[in-house]
Amino acid sequence: MSVCPESHPASQLAAGVGFLTDSYDLFAISICAQMIEIIYSQSGTAGLANPSLANHLDFGLKVASPIGTLLGQLVFGWAADILGRKKMYGFELILILVATFGQVLAGNAYGADIYGVLITYRFLMGIGIGGDYPISAIITSEFAATLFRGRMMNAVFAMQAVGQLFAALVSLSVITAFRSRIIANQNSLDQVWRVIIGLGMIPAALATYARLKIPEPPRFTMDVERNLEQAEQDADFVATGRFERIEDRPVVEVNMPKASKRDFIKYNSKWKNVKVLIGTSWSWLAQDIAFYGLALNSSVILNEIGFGSPKTLSEPDYIYVTLRNSAIGNIILALAGLIPGFIASFVLIDVWGRKPIQFLGFGMLTIIFLCMGLGFDVMVERNRSIHAFVFLYCLSNFFQNFGPNSTTFIIPGEVFPTRYRSTSHGVSAASGKLGAIIAQIIFSRLSKDGLKVILLVFAGFMFTGIFSTMLLPETMGISLETLSGEEDPEDEYMHHEMN
């Protein structure tokens, strides 16, 4: 089953805008946490130079979403294989909308602390974000043509970098707009972070309606629902944009292996199958330890190394300038590393293949993090070349996106059979979020002395990713049916009518 790459813009746009929302909501907290810290620190004092917020509260704000995301990836991934992609698609964004609105309205009360409220809502938001990963990946994969499937999936996931850029741009714009208020009264930051978080609802609202109108992917309709005629109608949506649900007609059924617990265990009891799940899961875990360790703490890292921090300013001016510089630093990281990496991946993913790009990414990241860790004292501690450290930081972002951050999303959406594709993608992605949680545990006790050790730990995990990549097949230019073994000579596709 093949379609031309331009023939399904609705599904790709709906998936891409959703990922932009996910990324914006996840990474806006990097800057907003600093503002929340200033306003609601337990001692009531302000200032970023000597923050008084307990580490476990900052940790809670940043780890709540990855924990929710892990749960959402498992639950929505499984549900999309049982109930169908269409029945689940869109509801994850509704959950994100509700949770984001709850964050904007969060406050202190006698019976509730704002941190507890925010952590709860960010956990719920994470569940919605987690649901988006497997469903968007699978819908894009199952609608895409074999020849351009990698680019289509990469284009959707590239919106993660755009979301990070938008979070930084919006933060800079809002901080600048509130400049006089922040300098006059630091409590104005309570409005600033709410505006930044709340604006993330706009793309979510735009994408929700579009997602609810997308039909079931034809491959699911045929392979899992076993309805050949409806699958043909779903395929017509790809070419014409018109969708018709067939009701009260004889169903032309396809005799395919049926999803069940017994069949799932049988399928994964073979080494050739389970090794792929191990490879996708560990590769994603190793990648996300470094990716989320850096991305969710980018403002902290920039402050720790003294990048853009003012030297001699009064406290109100210091707060404003530091927050503004944090936003500018995140914009630089996105433009200099994240977005170029996705562009390179988009251009070469269907030319070089997935495995070569993942090998290259893990290899280069191992070298880069070793250089950052071993050279930390010279570049940062002795203040000789902070800009060299920032350059390496940007380079690591580039090879994450032109490397495992792209391929760990794409490969699980291709290599598994239709009946378990979403579940297996959810398991792989959840392994990545486990890595993100591990990264936040490490950073919860971050100190300037500890950063170089953390970077060396990242290098070690990147090195392990080289070996997990060896377990994976190359998927470029191969149909989903061939990759999943659904065109195996032993399989029979018998069509018959049932009344």
| Max mean pLDDT range (48-57, 238-247, 403-412, 476-485) | 403-412
Name residues whose C-beta falls within 8 Å of residue 223's C-beta, 6 or more positions apart in sequence: 254, 256, 417, 418, 419, 486
pLDDT value for 380: 74
Whole-number Cα distances in Å, 93 to 61, 100, 162, 203, 391: 20, 10, 18, 10, 36
Taking all residues of the chain, what is their mean pLDDT, rounded to a whole number? 81
Lowest mean pLDDT among 22-31, 287-296, 302-311, 424-433: 302-311
Q: Please state, as a whole number, how many other Cβ atoms lie within 10 Å of the Cβ of residue 157.
A: 27
Using CA atoms, how far apart are residues 353 and 356, in angstroms rounded to an integer? 6
Percent of the chain predicted with pLDDT > 90: 39
Average pLDDT over residues 263-281: 90
Q: How far apart are CA 188 and CA 102, in angstroms?
A: 20
Q: Dig out the tokens for 95 from the structure.
A: 């959950």
How far is it, in rounded angstroms, from Cα 312 to Cα 102? 38
**For residues 327 and 168, is the Cβ–Cβ distance under 8 A?**
yes
pLDDT-derived band at 2, boundaries 50, 70, 90: very low
Q: Quick one: how far is CA 350 from the chain centroid?
A: 21
Among 19, 20, 13, 26, CA closest to 69: 26
With 60 as the cut, is the pLDDT of residue 35 above it?
yes
Report residue 465's pLDDT band, with 50, 70 and 90 as the boundaries.
Answer: very high
Q: DSSP labels for 87-155? A: HHTTHHHHHHHHHHHHHHT---BTTB-HHHHHHHHHHHHHHHHHHHHHHHHHHHHHHS-TTTHHHHHHH
User: Where is average pLDDT lowest: 24-28, 159-163, 219-223?
Assistant: 219-223
41 pLDDT more than 80? no
244 versus 47: the higher-pLDDT residue is: 244
CB burial of residue 489 (10 Å; 0-12, 13-18, 19+): exposed
- Asked whether 155 and 168 are in contact (CB, 8 A), the reply is no
State yes or no: pLDDT of 106 exceeds 70. yes
Structure tokens at 478: 């191969």
The DSSP-derived string for 375-396 is: THIIIIIT-S-HHHHHHHHHHH
Q: What pLDDT score does 407 carry? A: 96
pLDDT the model gives residue 62: 83
- pLDDT at residue 466, rounded to an integer: 97
Task: Please choose, from the candidates 494, 489, 496, 487, the residue with its C-alpha nearest in 3D space to the C-alpha of residue 417.
Answer: 487
Q: Return the pLDDT at 208.
A: 84
Can you spell out the DSSP letters for 167-222?
Answer: HHHHHHHHHHHTHHHHHH-GGGHHHHHHHHHHTTHHHHHHHHHHHHH----HHHHH
- % of the chain exceeding 70 in pLDDT: 78
- pLDDT at 315 exceeding the cut of 70: no
pLDDT at residue 379 in the model: 81
What distances in angstroms separate CA 332 from CA 119, 165, 291, 325, 455, one per listed residue?
29, 9, 16, 10, 20
The pLDDT of residue 492 is 37
Checking if the pLDDT of 22 tops 80, the result is: yes
Please state the separation of Cα 411 from the chain's center in Å: 15
Supply the pLDDT for residue 46: 41
Q: Is residue 360 pLDDT above 60, yes or no? A: yes
Query: Does the pLDDT at position 191 exceed 60?
Result: yes
Local structure of 7: helix, strand or coil: coil
- Residue 35 to residue 16: CA distance in whole angstroms: 29
| 52: DSSP letter | -
Q: How confident is the model at residue 491 (pLDDT cuts 50, 70, 90)?
A: very low
Contacts of 406 (CB under 8 A, 6+ apart): 154, 157, 158, 341, 342, 345, 349, 357
pLDDT band at residue 252 using 50, 70 and 90 as cut-offs: very low
- For 27, the enclosing helix (H) or strand (E) is helix 9-27
Taking residues 67-84, report their average pLDDT: 90
Per-residue pLDDT for 75 more than 90? yes
Q: Predicted confidence band at 84 (pLDDT cuts at 50, 70, 90)?
A: confident
* pTM for this entry: 0.83
Say yes or no to pLDDT of 49 above 50. no
Most confident stretch, 97-101, 266-270, 482-486:
97-101
Residue partners of 273: CB distance under 8 A and separation at least 6: 267
Q: Is the pLDDT of residue 218 over 50?
A: yes
